[in-house]
Each structure stands twice: as C-alpha cells, then as structure tokens.
Amino acid sequence: MATETRMGAKDRTYNLVSVLYHTLRESSTLETYITDAREAGDDELSGFLQEIQSQDRDRAQKAKRLLTGRLSQS
C-alpha cells in the first residue's frame, strides 16, 4: 500500500493535489492577514504577506500544470 492511498490514487497524484489545495488555502488565508495589516497601517507586514501570497499563487500555478499533465497521461 506504499504506492496508493486508501482511495486507490497514486501517492504522487494525491500529494500534488494536497500541495495545490494547501497552497490555495494559505493564499486565501493570507488575504485576511493582508487586510488586517493594511487596516493597522502596517505597510511592512502587508508587503511581506503579499510577497508570500504571490509565491503561493506561482506555486499553485505550477502545481496545476503538473497535475494537468499527469492526469492527461493517465
């Protein structure tokens, strides 16, 4: 069972979906933190969080491309 999850999906596919989900979720959560920082007038924190969010979006796009390619091969 090392190569499959309980639902029968290959671990690599499951892992990629999981990374995509958690990355998108974090990006969404960061939106709240960015708003909080802006409302508090903390431009430094807001900018830092926006950088992280941008990295998450880039990571999510790459994960989507990888996932699409792998699903089209199966």
Please tell me the pTM assigned to this model. 0.77
CA–CA separation, 42 vs 44, rounded Å? 6
Tokens of 61: 């796009």
> In this model, does residue 7 exceed pLDDT 60?
no
Q: How confident is the model at residue 9 (pLDDT cuts 50, 70, 90)?
A: low
Closest CA to 37 of 24, 23, 53: 53
